[in-house]
Amino acid sequence: MKPRIRRRMAAVAAVAAFGLTAACSSGGGGNPSATGTGKPSAPVGQQANVVIGTAADSVGPAKPVPGAKTGGTLNVLHRRDFAHLDPARTYVGDQMTMAELLTRRLTYYKKDGDKTVLIGDLATDAGTTTDGGKTWKYTLKDNIKFEDGSPITSADVKYGVERTFVQDYAEGPTWIQTWLAGSEKYWEFYPGPYGGKELPNDVVETPDAKTIIFHCKDVEPDFPFAASMGMTAAVPKSKDTKEEYDKHPFASGPYKIAEHVVDKSITLVKNDAWDPKTDAARHQYVDQFKFELGVAAPVQLQRVIAAKGSDATAMVLTERLDSNTANQVMNDPALKARATDGVGPYTNYWTINTRRIPDKQVRLAILTAFPRQQARLAEGGPVAGDFATTLGSPNQLGWAKYPSPLDSIPPTGDPEKAKQILTAAGKIGQPIVFGYAPTAVGQARAVAIKEGLDKAGFKVELKELPDKEYQDVISLVDKQIDIHWNGWGADWPTGSTVYTPVFDGRKIVDKGQNLSLYSNPAVDSEIDRILKITDPQVQGAEWMKLDQKIMDDIPVVPYIYQRHVLMYGPNIGGAGVNAYGAIDLNNVFVKA
User: Which among 395, 401, 537, 392 is positioned nearest to 43, based on CA atoms?
Assistant: 395
Judge whether 113 and 31 are in contact, CB under 8 Å.
no
Write the CATH number of the domain with boundaries 342-564: 3.10.105.10
For residue 36, what pLDDT is reported? 30
Tell me how far apart the alpha carbons of residues 221 and 534 are, in angstroms, rounded to a whole number. 9
Tell me how far apart the alpha carbons of residues 581 and 592 are, in angstroms, rounded to a whole number. 26
Judge whether 122 and 104 are in contact, CB under 8 Å.
yes
May I ask the CATH architecture of the domain 255-331+566-590?
3-Layer(aba) Sandwich (3.40)
Tell me how far apart the alpha carbons of residues 198 and 190 are, in angstroms, rounded to a whole number. 8
224-269 pLDDT tens trace = 999 999 999 999 999 999 999 999 999 999 999 999 999 999 999 9
Beta-carbon contacts of residue 243 (< 8 Å; ≥ 6 apart): none
Q: What angle do CA 489, 494, 496 make, to 5 degrees?
A: 90
For residue 44, what pLDDT is reported? 33
Tell me how far CA of residue 350 lies from CA of 112, 193, 201, in angstroms. Answer: 36, 37, 44
Tell me how far apart the alpha carbons of residues 476 and 377 are, in angstroms, rounded to a whole number. 29
Tell me how far apart the alpha carbons of residues 353 and 479 are, in angstroms, rounded to a whole number. 9
For residue 150, what pLDDT is reported? 98
Beta-carbon contacts of residue 354 (< 8 Å; ≥ 6 apart): 363, 516, 517, 518, 519, 553, 555
Judge whether 516 and 504 are in contact, CB under 8 Å.
no
Tell me how far apart the alpha carbons of residues 294 and 76 are, in angstroms, rounded to a whole number. 11
Tell me how far apart the alpha carbons of residues 47 and 485 are, in angstroms, rounded to a whole number. 26
What pairs with residue 204 in β-bridges?
214
User: Mind giving me the DSSP string for 333-378?
Assistant: HHHHTTB--EEEEEEEEEEE-TTTS--HHHHHHHHHH--HHHHHHT
What pairs with residue 291 in β-bridges?
76, 266
For residue 349, what pLDDT is reported? 97
Q: Where are the beta strands (DSSP E) in 156-284?
A: 204-208, 211-215, 255-261, 265-270
For residue 208, what pLDDT is reported? 98
For residue 2, what pLDDT is reported? 57
Tell me how far apart the alpha carbons of residues 109 and 586 are, in angstroms, rounded to a whole number. 12
What pairs with residue 77 in β-bridges?
292, 316
Phi, psi angles (nearest 5°) of residue 348: -95, 140
Q: Return the CA Rg of the chain.
A: 23
Note the residue count of the chain: 592
φ/ψ bin of 575: left (φ > 0), alpha (ψ from -120 to 50), beta (otherwise): beta
Tell me how far apart the alpha carbons of residues 558 and 372 are, in angstroms, rounded to a whole number. 9
327-377 pLDDT tens trace = 999 999 999 999 998 877 899 999 999 999 999 999 999 999 999 999 999
For residue 473, what pLDDT is reported? 94
Lay out the sheet containing 314-316: strands in order across. Answer: 255-261, 265-270, 288-292, 73-77, 314-316
User: Which among 280, 233, 232 is positioned nearest to 252, based on CA atoms?
Assistant: 233
Tell me, what DSSP letter sits at residue 408?
Answer: G
Question: What is the pTM (predicted TM-score) of this model?
Answer: 0.81
Peptide bond preceding 431 in cis form (omega within 30 of 0): no
Q: What angle do CA 388, 537, 115 make, to 5 degrees?
A: 80
Tell me how far apart the alpha carbons of residues 142 and 459 are, in angstroms, rounded to a whole number. 62
Judge whether 326 and 335 are in contact, CB under 8 Å.
no
Q: Domain map of the chain by residue range?
A: 255-331+566-590, 342-564
Averaged pLDDT of the chain: 90
For residue 537, what pLDDT is reported? 85
Pairing outcome for strands 22-24 and 265-270:
unpaired
Tell me how far apart the alpha carbons of residues 295 and 191 are, in angstroms, rounded to a whole number. 38
Ranges of residues in the chain whose predicted pLDDT is under 50: 4-48
CA end-to-end distance (rounded Å), the chain: 36
For residue 337, what pLDDT is reported? 96
Q: Where are the beta strands (DSSP E) in 271-396?
A: 288-292, 314-316, 342-352, 385-387
Judge whether 173 and 226 are in contact, CB under 8 Å.
yes
Q: Which is it for the CA torsion 120, 249, 587, 227, positive or negative?
A: positive
Pairing outcome for strands 314-316 and 483-489:
unpaired
For residue 34, what pLDDT is reported? 31
